[in-house]
Chain A
Amino acid sequence: MTSPNEIRVPANEITVAKRIDASIAVVGNPNSGKSTLFNRLTGLKQRIGNYPGVTVERHIGVLKHENRAVELVDLPGTHSLSAHSLEEHIAVDVIFGRMEGTRTPDGILAVLDATNLYQGLFLVQQLVELGLPTVVALTMTDAAEKGGIQVDTAELSALLGVPVYPVVATTGAGLDMLRRALVGIKDITPPRRVRIWPELAAAAERLAEDSREPLRFAELERLLIDGPTESNRDILGKLSDAARARIDTERAALFEGEPPIARDARIRYTWVRSVLDKVQKSAPAFVTWRSRVTDFLNLPVPGTIGLFVVMAIVFQAVFAWATPIMDAIDASSSALSAAVFQRLGDNAFSSLIADGVIAGVGSVVIFLPQIIILFLFIILLEDSGYLARAAYLMDRAMRSVGLSGQSIIPMISSFACAVPGIMATRVIPNRRDRIATIMAAPFMTCSARLPVYALLIAAFVPATKVGFLNLQGLVLLGLYLFGIVMGVLTALIMRQTALRGPKPPFALMLPEFRRPNLQTVAIQLLGRAKVFLKRAGTVIFAVAVIVWALAYFPRANDIPADLDANTAAAMQMEQSWLGRAGKVVEPVFEPLGWDWRVSSAVIAGFPAREVVIAVLGTVYAVGDDADEGTLSGRLKSATRPDGSKVFTLPMVIGLLIFYACCLQCAATLAIIRRETNSWRWPIFAWAYMTTIGYLGALVAFQLGSA
């Protein structure tokens, strides 16, 4: 099975000059400093792809040291080898060699956070049981020492039976020793098994005697704990029928009615506590400014206020910083188009290049500043540990609409642009929650809706004062609130119907605040930008060229040569496929008060809603005898053949409602396709939002005109 999202990276392709000696899986808890260490070890020599059929990113890098090279595979963070979330399933499947397109690792680099040995050792102990050559990197030793925690590395190494290397990934201390150990991982003797649960080991041995081919004890132990499931079907197939029949009796005797996961956790954490007693010495931690800030932000009310301040700053920065760059991109693509016409003259080819290709590329690139700035903040907040805290603070409010606190960041991000908002839903572990959030996100008023709102409000809403507030501002605020209400209602309805399911568990790790690592931030940011340009870019670009062709062909022959350019363009528009399409669908939009011109502009706006302004500008630019120079003036004076005004107040309100709802954004559709891995959801979202927009506009126009 090959998914279009997948980039297969065979080992021989990333071998630059040296042979890859071994493939090492990098495993650790979430937030253990795993990615920072991985980036430190591999630098920019890494490839980002996807695991087959899912949107979990696959990071593979090469570590070179003293003329030897090994391949490192950075696995999603996990707490246990009993997988819980999608990401944990992938980590476990790769470790056991069950992942399609990935070979069984030759060794394990276990990342252990010195400030959180408790949860870390729970996982590392399970990794050691795999019996593969294993190296432990003890990270954050500097932070641990600051917090008054001393770790006896030699004792820890002796108790685990594997080498332990203390490192500080941010400064690079200790990395050379680790590198040397990793390139020579095949020389490391696999660890002896630490028998912390003799009954389980005995049961696994009994099963092993009955297997048709040699099986790893660790896999059999997992089979006993997790029971026969989809993910360990392979192992079941390798057992004899007799052994398979015995699994249930073995499990019953082993767990005595206790939930296996609970028994597993109880036994292993008891062992972890005994290890901690021997290797960890805690001195009373002195109060740092950081712990004071943490304590203050942990108070319910200051914490919540702090969250709103942070979001306000992010939101402000996205608009304030991105606007000048977006204006510059807009200006340079216009200038480039003008230059093309000047050079090549006015013909089909130059129009394709200027209005199709350059405008198409521009419409993709113009999103980049906002995406990069927003993601910079999201990554900084995530790496500093604040994102988890935001989810925690907002959980109760989000729960009332059927979501969890983890949906708050994607929703707020979508006010800038739904594309990074939807990409940010990756932090939501529950699939139903995640899709409900993706369906709600495009309702948030994004920056591309703003120019459409601004145009229509400036032209048709009087700038009168309501109290001390401006009516135009109030209408804009109302549209923002309308989007929020629609999004929340959508999530609520989805969670009750198509995405009905058990409430997702809410167990969120709340890491201490820490300074984000710049290299990690930069690598993640580049990765996100590339993903957007590649995946969304191709779709937007293709649609932009198609819309260009629809507006350009067929050429109108009967335009008098002496006609002014504006009227000629408007006549061409009427002649084109787009204009004809507008006329064909006019009856559909007639009940909304739209004429064929508005209808064709709305059709043209399918790939990017702000395009509607440009098209309206063309179709209503009839003759320079029109005394109105501005677009809003032209719209105001637009009439039907019978002389009645097209843009009446009910029609404009309907149009605003339509734009608040409909999903006229190819980038969003492309990203929903990518993130849900199916066309089902983008098609549903488009149909659903367009229907709501249509009905809203219908009600507004019919009630208002009655």
Chain B
Amino acid sequence: MAINGSTLATLKRGQKGIIRAINAADPQVQRLMVLGLVEGTEVQHASSAIGGDPMEFRLFGCGISLRQEHARHFQVAPVGAGD
């Protein structure tokens, strides 16, 4: 499944988005789904390390960090503009 448009990797710092579609073929992406990154869940891009990778996201109050290469597999509908 091809993922186009906004993904977790393109969310700006502070911006929120709702996950709409996931390319779940990669087992590492499936692992992230077990941690709660599934369709319909609202996530916020909280921070990133130097160089923008890995990125930290917040969902329902918990923080989870993932690398950009995995964040690209999550298509999101952005909510608001971020800062």
Contacts and interface: CB of A to CB of B under 8 A. Distances in A.
Interface of A: 79-80, 82, 84, 115-119, 122, 147, 149, 258-259, 261-262, 264-266, 269-270, 273, 276, 298-301, 303-304, 388, 392-396, 405, 505-512
A392 B39 CA distance: 25
Interface in B1-49: 22, 24-25, 27-36, 38-41, 46-49
B60 A80 contact: no
Contacts of B36: 118-119, 122, 265, 269
Contacts of B35: 79, 119, 507, 509
A300 B50 contact: yes
Nearest to B28: A505
Nearest to B32: A507
A118 B54 contact: no
Contact of A506 (B33, B34, B39, B67): B67
A670 B38 CA distance: 44
Given A262-B30, A269-B38, A507 B50 contact: no
Given A259-B24, A300-B49, A82 B34 contact: yes
B60 A117 contact: yes
Q: Is the interface of A mostly helix, strand, loop or mixed?
A: helix
Nearest to B62: A116
B56 to A, nearest CB: 6
A396 B51 contact: yes
B66 interface: yes
B60 A116 contact: yes
Given A505-B28, A507-B32, A118 B49 contact: no
A265 B38 contact: yes
B63 interface: yes
Nearest to A117: B60
Contacts of B48: 300
Contacts of A265: 30, 33-34, 36, 38
Contacts of B56: 298, 392, 510
A395 B30 contact: no
Which applies to chain B's interface (DSSP): helix, strand, loop or mixed? mixed
B33 to A, nearest CB: 4
Given A276-B60, A392-B65, A395-B54, A259 B47 contact: no
Contacts of B67: 395, 506
B39 A396 contact: no
B61 interface: yes
19 contacts: A82-B34, A115-B61, A115-B62, A118-B36, A264-B34, A266-B33, A269-B38, A273-B40, A276-B60, A304-B49, A395-B54, A395-B65, A505-B27, A507-B31, A508-B54, A508-B64, A508-B65, A509-B35, A511-B62
Contacts of A505: 27-28, 31-32, 70
B28 to A, nearest CB: 4
A510 B61 contact: no
B12 to A, nearest CB: 14
Given A118-B36, A118-B60, A259-B30, A273 B41 contact: yes
Contacts of B64: 507-510
B59 interface: yes
Contacts of B47: 298-300, 303
B65 A298 contact: no
A393 B49 contact: yes
Contacts of A507: 28, 31-32, 35, 64-66, 70
A266 B49 contact: no
A265 B51 CA distance: 31
B35 to A, nearest CB: 6
A298 B38 CA distance: 24
A211 B22 CA distance: 36
**Which 9 pairs show the lowest CB-CB distances between chains A and B?**
A510-B63, A118-B60, A298-B47, A262-B24, A265-B33, A505-B28, A261-B30, A300-B50, A269-B38
A501 to B, nearest CB: 13
A117 B60 CA distance: 8
Contacts of B50: 300-301, 304, 393, 396
Contact of B49 (A261, A262, A392): A392
Contacts of A264: 34
